[in-house]
Structure 1
Amino acid sequence: MTELVTVQESDAYTLLTMDDGKANALSFAMFDAINAGLDTAEAAGKVVIIAGRPGKFSAGFDLSVMAAGGEPMIKLLRCGADLSKRFLTFSTPIVLAVSGHALAMGALLCLSADYRIGIKGNFKLGLNEVAIGMTLPWFGIELARARIANGQINDAVGLAHIYDAEGAVSAGYLDEAVEGEQLLDRAVELATGLSALNMEAHKATKARIREPMLERLEEALRRDFQAGDYAIAASS
């Protein structure tokens, strides 16, 4: 079996590349592989770049688990929520090289990272839950409230609007869009520049910036998982 996430070290950054040979579905195994890669990067104290396979960053949660429902579905949702929180509080900057489609949980990862670079072209980015008969969990709502442009949050979340990369910059999913052949070079350029930061100061300042959002996120996680209040409306 092909390794789901490859880890490459350089002097300035750690590159994690997701590739399941398909749509980069966020399965239990993929979450484990991403977290293992982040463990390596955190131990090294380096900026992180996370990339996807060509044309597909991530299509979101493993639909075979989501369709089955029950405790496995809730557990997978929690894996996604925990990874978003890890991104938001990570000790070094996380740069996403969004290599194509980023939908559902893939888009939520875009809302969780420090800097997001997409590629121009016929790629889809956004929260499509409403369109496929699912209610966005509270943690996803809070991520959207924090990062989606105020004037677009209803379209982006309530109406499941899907964007190309340039539209995703305007909406707040991405920070910039480049040509496909420039994606990794731009991510490396950015990560190399960010490597000059004092990482202790970065972590502490990021925590202060995001403190109100993280407080709201904790309440969202309580509603989603501790209070049993999470309702997912599967299409019939």
Structure 2
Amino acid sequence: MLNVIKHDAITEIQLARPPVNALNLELLRAIQEALADAVRDDARGMVLSGTQGMFSAGVDVPALLTRDRAGVREFWREFFATCAALAHSPIPVAASITGHSPAGGAVLSLFCDYRVMAQGPYRIGLNEVQVGLVAPDCIQMALRRIVGNYRAERLLVSGTLIDAEQALACGFVDELTSVDEVTTRALHWLNETLALPRHAMLATRQIARADLLHAYADMDSLPIDAFIDGFFHPQTQATLHELVARLKKKP
């Protein structure tokens, strides 16, 4: 499910769950374990990457719809725990957005320090509304701190997926490059950052990310149960089942 690649002092954690790197329980737990392993092995920085053309298609909705309420709660708790692991990473993490990144894929990138995205016909965004879900405040704040309050509101309420150029223009991503150079550019940013005086850089980073650290300081304080209530809303369930039906018809 993951490829872990060492680039000297930087560890790359590459999502490798074909065909679209959809997030299921096992993949989320693997990401958390890989993040912890990299820190324990004294990595100085990390890259979270996908495969060419696809960073992550987000949550594995077909699999999630087969789970009962306890199973759905287990999944979403692990999803938020993965966000928390990225938020609390003691070392910088760059997102190598190697292609499409809707919904859950986009969310994970927001908790990284820097986002490089592939140029081309690739889209990114929090399209939860379009599939009947309500993005909770702990996710919305991650977008607000990146693109600002008004832009976040417009993107969230419409559930719009934007292209790479639009993502760069509104600050959703920091840099665009060709699809085969995304990880190279993410590594370049990390190497420049890691060349700075280490204590000052890390201490300043911690202050700058204090809002994320505070929001994800206590998993039990996150609105997981309210989010799950929304997941089981009849209209949401109908929308998600329609989505899965459309996906099954695609060649």
Q: Normalising to structure 2: TM-score of the pair? A: 0.83
Q: Which residue of 1 aligns with 2:29?
A: 32
Q: Which residue of 2 aligns with 1:208?
A: 207
Structure 2, unaligned runs of 5 or more: 239-251
Q: Which residue of 2 aligns with 1:60?
A: 58
> Contact 1:12 / 1:195 at 8 angstroms: preserved in 2?
no
Question: In structure 1, the residue corresponding to 2:122 is in which secondary structure?
Answer: coil
Could you list the per-position Cα deviations for residues 59-87 of structure 1 after superposition, in whole angstroms to 9, with x for gaps in the alignment?
11121343245122222112121111221
Structure 1, unaligned runs of 5 or more: none
Question: 1:40 and 1:55, CA in 2 relative to 1: closer, same or farther beyond 3 A?
Answer: same
Q: Which residue of 2 aligns with 1:111?
A: 110
Q: Which residue of 1 aligns with 2:151?
A: 152
Q: Which moved more, 1:32-41 or 1:156-165?
A: 32-41
Q: Which moved more, 1:183-192 or 1:65-74?
A: 65-74
State the percentage of identical aligned residues: 24
Counterpart among 6, 9, 13 of residue 10 in structure 2: 13
Q: Which moved more, 1:199-208 or 1:148-157?
A: 199-208
Could you list the per-position Cα deviations for residues 130-165 of structure 1 after superposition, in whole angstroms to 9, with x for gaps in the alignment?
101111133212212222333311221011111111
1:181 deviation in Å?
2.6
1:103 deviation in Å?
1.0
Q: Which residue of 1 aligns with 2:132?
A: 133
Q: Which amino acid aligns with 2:16?
A: D
Question: 1:65 and 1:72, CA in 2 relative to 1: closer, same or farther beyond 3 A?
Answer: farther
Counterpart among 20, 23, 35 of residue 23 in structure 1: 20
Give, in whole Å, the separation in 2 of the partners of 1:67 and 1:135. Answer: 16
> Contact 2:87 / 2:212 at 8 angstroms: preserved in 1?
no
1:198 deviation in Å?
4.6
1:207 deviation in Å?
2.5
Q: Over the residues paired in the alignment, what is the CA RMSD in angstroms?
A: 2.1
Q: Which residue of 1 aligns with 2:242?
A: none
> Contact 1:31 / 1:79 at 8 angstroms: preserved in 2?
yes
Q: Which residue of 1 aligns with 2:193?
A: 194
Question: In structure 2, the residue corresponding to 1:58 is in which secondary structure?
Answer: coil
How do 1:176-187 residues align onto structure 2 when only pairs under 5 Å count?
176-187=175-186
1:30 deviation in Å?
0.7
